């Protein structure tokens, strides 16, 4: 309603501000289900709709950050997790990506850089992470992943992961991506993205649930993207979601837009 009542110049300014933070627009089949399902497991088996357009943006706007936080709370509470105390935020060492469909937040993921304050994963797994640092590895982590339970699309997940990878590898020279995941999701990360377990199961106080530390080398992701990226319709029998990533040639433009919007 506010957009309808605003003056045309105000609407154009608001639309311009939102648009400048859009990293990529993608068409994909967005499956919908009436019953809740596992956003990382059953999300890959769904009833399909026609082609729909969704956008991935940097979450800088306060309203968009609030929408991302609401989605996280919704999905975490549905799983029985405690909502993380620290809300999503765009800082020099963290970026929050949000997926929008019809201007509604349907997915979010935060990428954190290894800075002086360390990573979120250090709270439980510093003994596993420090050897990587000592070996000269450059680390990023993915946190606060949430996808609306009514959305079913490999492309949505793949696009989020791919832009996180681009931010980590292209903009920050990262050699490794880390993720703390619930034990029930370990198989997904192994099969779909090539992660390997780095730390044993421990109890995560932030969400009051068990977690396992996973790691994937960005060089491995690069090889898989070169092999499969942008070939969702052509590659048959591949079990990972790398065919749903963008093509390697698309990465340059995405990295440039990410760099421009991140400044």
Domain ranges within the chain, ordered by starting residue:
19-262
Kindly give, in sequence order, each residue whose CB lies less than 8 Å from that of residue 11, ignoring residues fewer than 6 positions away: 3
Exposure on the CB side of residue 238, measured as CA atoms within 13 A: 22
- 3-class SS of residue 107: strand
CATH superfamily entry for domain 19-262? Gcn5-related N-acetyltransferase (GNAT) (3.40.630.30)
Residue 221: how many CA atoms within 13 Å on its side-chain side?
Answer: 31
Structure tokens at 83: 């909502």
Spatial distance between the Cα atoms of 1 and 16, rounded to a whole number of angstroms = 18
pLDDT (0 to 100) of residue 114? 95
Q: What pTM value is reported for the model?
A: 0.81
What is the pLDDT tens value at each position of the chain, 263 positions in all?
A: 232 233 333 333 433 344 447 888 888 766 544 323 333 333 334 334 556 889 999 887 788 888 888 888 888 876 777 765 566 666 778 889 999 988 889 899 999 999 888 999 999 999 999 999 999 999 999 999 988 877 778 898 999 999 999 999 999 999 999 999 999 999 999 999 999 999 999 998 888 889 999 999 999 999 999 999 999 888 888 999 999 999 998 998 899 888 877 65
> How many whole angstroms separate alpha carbon 193 and alpha carbon 94?
22
- Predicted pLDDT of residue 158: 95
pLDDT reported for residue 22 = 84
- Residue among 107, 115, 198 nearest 154 (CA): 107
Whole-number pLDDT of residue 202: 96
What DSSP string describes 205-236?
TTTTEEEEEEEEEHHHHHHHHHHHTT-TTT--
209 and 77 Cβ atoms separated by less than 8 Å: no
Tokens of 244: 């749903």
**Cα-based angle 246, 251, 256 (whole degrees, multiple of 5):** 135
Kindly state the helix (H) or strand (E) to which residue 162 belongs, with its residue range. helix 154-172
CB neighbourhood size of 213 (10 A):
21
pLDDT at 31: 57
Query: Could you tell me which residues come within 8 angstroms of residue 102 by beta carbon, excluding any fewer than 6 positions away?
Result: none
């Amino acid at each position: 309603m506010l957009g309808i009542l605003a003056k045309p110049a105000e609407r154009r300014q608001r639309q311009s501000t939102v648009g400048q933070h859009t990293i990529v627009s993608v068409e994909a089949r967005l499956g919908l289900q009436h019953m809740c399902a596992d956003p990382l497991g059953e999300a890959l088996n769904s009833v399909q709709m026609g082609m729909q357009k969704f956008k991935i943006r940097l979450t800088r706007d306060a309203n968009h950050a609030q929408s991302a936080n609401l989605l996280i709370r919704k999905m975490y509470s549905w799983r029985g997790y405690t909502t993380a105390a620290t809300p999503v935020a765009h800082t020099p060492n963290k970026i929050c990506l949000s997926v929008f469909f019809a201007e509604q937040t349907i997915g979010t993921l935060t990428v954190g850089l290894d800075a002086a304050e360390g990573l979120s994963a250090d709270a439980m797994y510093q003994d596993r992470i420090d050897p990587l640092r000592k070996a000269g590895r450059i680390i990023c982590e993915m946190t606060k992943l949430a996808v609306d339970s009514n959305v079913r699309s490999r492309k949505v997940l793949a696009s989020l992961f791919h832009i996180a990878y681009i931010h980590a590898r292209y903009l920050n020279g990262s050699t490794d991506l880390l993720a703390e995941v619930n034990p029930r999701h370990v198989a997904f990360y192994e099969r779909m993205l090539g992660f390997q377990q780095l730390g044993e199961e421990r109890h995560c106080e932030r969400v009051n649930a068990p977690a396992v530390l996973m790691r994937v080398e960005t060089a491995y992701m690069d090889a898989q993207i070169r092999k499969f990226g942008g070939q969702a319709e052509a590659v048959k029998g591949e079990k990972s979601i790398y065919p749903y990533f963008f093509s390697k040639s698309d990465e340059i433009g995405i990295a440039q837009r990410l760099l421009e919007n991140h400044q």
